[in-house]
């Protein structure tokens, strides 16, 4: 049987080193949400059939580089300023892997007027993680309930 929590631990071991997280794109412009700066991370604990992020999801050892929360924030901030965006996000795979990385990134965002949109499958957000996320004033959490898992 498929166990997404067990898979998350395995994948996290490949894409997280302390507060460093693996990304295959550190900043890009997107039209979603009326315009948003996005960093794309590697590694996910699901295998949804509709996923557009195959290689970074399935072979995170072979794609991307490790980045600090500060590096990701600076890239997102520069992209948002260039395009006049007010929103930031981490996408591409499951951003809740690497809890301390994400929480530090959110600390950096909390000192700004940006809205951080956290898109997650929600599997790794337990009561403690949810409480820590809820401490940030400028976060919007979207939990996507996946269907069509391979």
Element (H, E) at 20: strand 20-30
Cα(107)–Cα(136) distance, integer angstroms: 8
Query: Measuring CA to CA, which residue among 99, 90, 10, 24 is closest to residue 56?
Result: 24
* Domains identified in the chain and CATH numbers: 4-143 (3.20.20.70)
pLDDT digits (tens, 9 = 90+) for 40-94: 999 998 877 777 777 778 788 899 999 999 999 999 999 999 999 999 999 989 9
143: which strand partners?
A: 120
Report the relative pairing of strands 115-120 and 87-91 from DSSP bridges: parallel
- pTM flag (> 0.75): yes
């Amino acid at each position: 049987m498929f166990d997404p929590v067990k898979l998350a631990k395995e994948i996290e071991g490949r894409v997280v080193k302390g507060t460093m997280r693996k990304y295959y794109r550190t900043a890009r412009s997107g039209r979603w949400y009326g315009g948003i700066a996005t960093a794309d991370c590697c590694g996910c604990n699901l295998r949804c059939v509709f996923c557009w992020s195959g290689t970074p999801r399935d072979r995170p050892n072979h794609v991307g580089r490790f980045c600090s929360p500060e590096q990701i924030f600076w890239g997102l901030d520069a992209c948002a300023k260039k395009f006049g965006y007010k929103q930031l996000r981490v996408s591409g795979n499951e951003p809740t892997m690497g809890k301390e990385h994400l929480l530090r990134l959110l600390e950096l965002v909390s000192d700004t007027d940006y809205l951080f949109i956290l898109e997650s499958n929600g599997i790794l957000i337990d009561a403690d993680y949810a409480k820590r996320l809820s401490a940030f004033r400028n976060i919007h959490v979207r939990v996507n309930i996946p269907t069509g898992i391979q």
